[in-house]
């Protein structure tokens, strides 16, 4: 039996590099996650029922990112969400908007057909353990049914998982098993992989796949586990073309659900794992393993301000590496592993008083 070492965001810092960037505005955060699908900012709101429906997806798109619709809606409600998104785009007079991405399960062909007929051309196959025969079959079937769709598939956390999903035909893979803020997969199943290393492995798989298939275009979304804006730069430097987040967006104005007051009279919204008991029972799913929790988060206002702060953090992070764009960041990035003392040194702390 082998035991491999895996690291995550708090285990490392990016090593600052010589920089000739005079203004943060000179740093481009442009990225791509599907062929022909460019984002101004590499941020994606999670396909979770307390994070992304049409309002969030629209705002993410409006501010340069992307929102992925969750798959826990009836087909009828999904179609309503698609219509509402399109209506919002039209009402704002937006001509070239980022297309809407809709999540599906590995056997959701009826849902896929309905979405396709409503004009959706980009799908996200959402399976907790995506390195799975069902995902392979799903990608293969979608490729035979539709010749003009983009496929994001996940989630995986190993080199082989990433390589196989690319080989099966996914354009983009989602990386992350258990790093999420409301996930209990690692506690409940013992499975998972520290997120920074998982992203690095996927990046290596992508490079190896592209070396063998130079015509192909393959992308990576690092999904879950972002606690600070600095983690965004680390996730992208390690190989993510974009980063998916739930908790950092939870509680903002555009997420589904209402604002209410908790026992301390604070304004809050609900945020929950899709495999939590409240989520699964709301969607009538009886046979499941509880692998998530449900909580409330403080109301955080318009997502616009969150995205603006993220962009500032990322641009600044990239300029510490002397990188004007994401590709350069990924080429030059070097990490230093930190001890626990190094980690605490990086947190705000008081000077010793004698």
Residues near ligand XMP, by CB under 6 A = 46, 48, 155, 176, 178, 180-183, 185, 223-226, 244-247, 273-276, 291-292
47, 60 Cβ separation under 8 angstroms: no
Nearer Cβ to ligand XMP, position 56 or 275? 275
Closest-approach residue to ligand XMP (CB): 292
Cα–Cα distance, 273 to 254 (Å, whole number): 18
Nearer Cβ to ligand XMP, position 67 or 224? 224
> Minimum Å distance from CB 184 to ligand XMP?
6
Cα–Cα distance, 33 to 47 (Å, whole number): 15
Nearer Cβ to ligand XMP, position 86 or 189? 189
> Minimum Å distance from CB 9 to ligand XMP?
11
Nearer Cβ to ligand XMP, position 27 or 130? 130
* Residue 83 Ramachandran class (φ > 0 left, ψ -120 to 50 alpha, else beta): alpha
Nearer Cβ to ligand XMP, position 191 or 213? 191
Q: What is the largest CA-CA distance in the chain?
A: 73
Q: Is 252 a catalytic residue?
A: no
SS percent in the chain: helix, strand, coil, step 5: 40, 20, 45
Task: Select which of 124, 138, 183, 252 is catalytic.
Answer: 183
> Minimum Å distance from CB 126 to ligand XMP?
8
> Minimum Å distance from CB 295 to ligand XMP?
10
Cα–Cα distance, 162 to 306 (Å, whole number): 30
Q: 31: part of which helix (H) or strand (E)? A: strand 31-34
> Minimum Å distance from CB 177 to ligand XMP?
7
Q: 17: exposed, middle or buried (C-beta count within 10 Å: 0-12, 13-18, 19+)?
A: middle
156, 175 Cβ separation under 8 angstroms: yes
Q: How many CA atoms lie within 13 A of 279 on its CB side?
A: 26
Nearer Cβ to ligand XMP, position 226 or 268? 226
Give the three-state DSSP class for 75: helix
Buried/exposed 189-211: b ≥16 CB within 10 Å, e otherwise: eeebbbbbbbbbbbbebbeebee
> Minimum Å distance from CB 294 to ligand XMP?
9
Query: Which positions are annotated as active-site residues?
Result: 183
């Amino acid at each position: 039996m082998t035991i491999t070492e895996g690291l995550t965001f708090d285990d490392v810092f990016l090593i600052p590099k010589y920089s000739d960037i005079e203004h943060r505005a000179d740093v481009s955060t442009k990225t791509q996650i599907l062929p022909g699908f460019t984002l101004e900012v590499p941020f994606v709101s999670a396909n979770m029922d307390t994070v992304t429906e049409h309002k969030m997806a629209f705002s993410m798109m409006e501010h340069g990112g992307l929102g992925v619709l969750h798959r826990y809606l009836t087909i009828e409600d999904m179609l309503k969400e698609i219509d509402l998104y399109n209506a919002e785009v039209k009402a704002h007079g937006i001509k070239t908007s980022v297309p809407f991405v809709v999540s599906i399960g590995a056997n959701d062909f009826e849902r896929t057909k309905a979405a396709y007929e409503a004009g959706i051309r980009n799908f996200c196959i959402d399976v907790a353990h995506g390195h799975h025969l069902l995902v392979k079959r799903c990608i293969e079937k979608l490729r035979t049914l539709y010749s003009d769709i983009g496929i994001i598939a996940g989630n995986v956390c190993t080199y082989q998982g990433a390589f196989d999903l690319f080989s099966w035909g996914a354009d983009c893979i989602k990386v992350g098993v258990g790093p999420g803020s409301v996930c209990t997969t690692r506690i409940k199943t013992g499975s998972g992989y520290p997120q920074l290393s998982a992203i690095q492995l996927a990046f290596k798989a992508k490079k190896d796949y592209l070396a063998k298939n130079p015509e192909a275009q393959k992308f990576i979304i690092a999904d879950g586990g972002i606690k600070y804006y600095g983690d965004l730069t680390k996730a992208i430097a390690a190989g993510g073309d974009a980063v998916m987040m739930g908790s950092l967006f939870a509680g903002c104005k555009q997420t589904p659900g209402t604002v209410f007051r908790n026992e301390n009279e604070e304004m809050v919204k609900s945020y929950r794992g899709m495999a939590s008991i409240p989520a699964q029972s709301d969607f009538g799913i009886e046979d499941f393993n509880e692998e998530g929790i449900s909580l409330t988060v403080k109301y955080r206002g318009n997502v616009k301000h969150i995205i603006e702060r993220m962009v500032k953090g990322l641009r600044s992070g990239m300029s510490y590496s002397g990188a004007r764009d994401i590709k350069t960041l990924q080429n030059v990035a070097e990490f230093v592993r930190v001890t626990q003392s190094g980690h605490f040194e990086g947190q705000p702390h008081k000077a010793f008083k004698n």
